Amino acid sequence: MPDRFLSSMIISYKGRNILVDCGEGTQVAMRKAHTGFKATDIICITHFHGDHIFGLPGLLLTIGNSGRIEPITIIGPIGLRDILDAFLTSIPYLPYDINLIEDPKVGLGFKIFGNVLQVRDKNSYAEDEIIISTLDLEHSSPCLGYSFYIPRRPKFLPEKAIEYGIPKEKWSILQSGKAIVYKGNTYRPSQMLGKKRRGIKLSYITDTRPIDEIVGFIEESNFFVCEGTYGDSGDIEKAIENKHMTFREAAELAFKGKVDRLLLTHFSPAMEDPNTYIKHAKTIFENTIIGYDGYTEVLSYE
Ligand SMILES: [Zn+2]
Ligand SMILES: [Zn+2]
């Protein structure tokens, strides 16, 4: 649409970027938002309908032209390898490798290795910086929902360290997560830590019917991005037939999942101004935002 590009999201974390979906024109939107291309470490694809992937070949080429040589991780549902092979016939050379993860069934822990967000080796003991989880959705094509979780370490309790008689100069070692040996005794960081703290959770659900499994998957997200293909609750028949959702249905998920805030996106081109229908969502879930091009949000630890 002239004033509305296709739905896509970019997460910026410590200068590294994770892109979710890449419809036609996503690289134009990225240019407008000054995200850059070189730091695109992970691309998550929800499904293979054109409005979610037709921008991928062009973007991969642009990332190549940005001087990137580090590998990129691409995650997507079953069939990802075939789609990518087809796209790559028109891009015979890319200066970086692609690490493909098709239909992951377990959460993937990522950490910055060599300045790039890469999936953690099972044998490495490093703590995960971002955990990406997926959920099978109900759409007219295999489709994945995503959640992104940034864990937060528990607080270091100096009073505990004092209790154990550990000198101050040793505290930073414990704080960094390593055990120390002092006067013949081993002390573990877990002995000096407070209770668990809430990390940052962001979830992204599109395209799908509002299946029950979504509620647990998005639970207590700080920010929940969800499709609202139809604004008018009267369009429910169309939503069921085309395996999409109305604003009301998305708001019900947000309410049941006890999220902090809901951002609606993926509007039908037939809907000229989605704001007209916001009350269909707000009567169910007050903290609803109608997404628009370039919408930016900063999420921090509480
Ligand atoms: Zn679709
Ligand atoms: Zn779509």
Total of domains in the chain: 2
Residue 128 has pLDDT above 90, yes or no: no
Residue at 39: amino acid letter:
A
Strand partners, 261: none
Residues 88 and 117 in one domain: yes
What is d(CA 67, CA 238) in angstroms, rounded to the nearest whole number? 45
Tell me the CA–centroid distance for residue 49 and ligand 2, in Å. 6
Q: Is the pLDDT of residue 131 over 70?
A: yes
Residue numbers of the domain that contains 173: 158-191
Residue, of 177 and 226, whose pLDDT is higher: 226
Listed in sequence order, the residues at least 6 apart from 121 whose beta carbon sits closer than 8 Å to its beta carbon are none
| Average pLDDT value for residue range 259-273 | 97
Ligand 2 centroid to Cα of residue 242, in Å, is 10
> What confidence score (pLDDT) does residue 125 get?
55
SS3 of residue 15 by DSSP: coil
pLDDT exceeds 80 at position 177: no
Q: Of 127-141, 165-179, 207-221, 284-298, give the lowest mean pLDDT range.
A: 165-179
Least confident of 6-15, 30-39, 161-170, 259-268: 161-170
The verdict on 14 and 29 lying in the same domain is yes
* Verdict on whether the full-model pTM lies above 0.85: yes
Query: What are the pLDDT digits (tens) for 199-245?
Result: 999 999 999 999 999 999 999 999 999 999 999 999 999 999 999 99
**Half-sphere exposure of 243 toward its Cβ, with a 13 Å CA cutoff?**
12
In a domain, 300, yes or no: no
* 14 plus 94 within the same structural domain: yes
In a domain, 178, yes or no: yes
Residues 122 and 248 in one domain: yes
Residues with CB under 5 A from ligand 2 (ion): 51, 207
Q: Are 1 and 23 in contact (CB under 8 A)?
A: no
The strand pairing partners of 297, in sequence order, are none
Distance CA 74, CA 18 (A): 10
Give the bridge partners for 166, in sequence order. Answer: none
Active site residues: 51
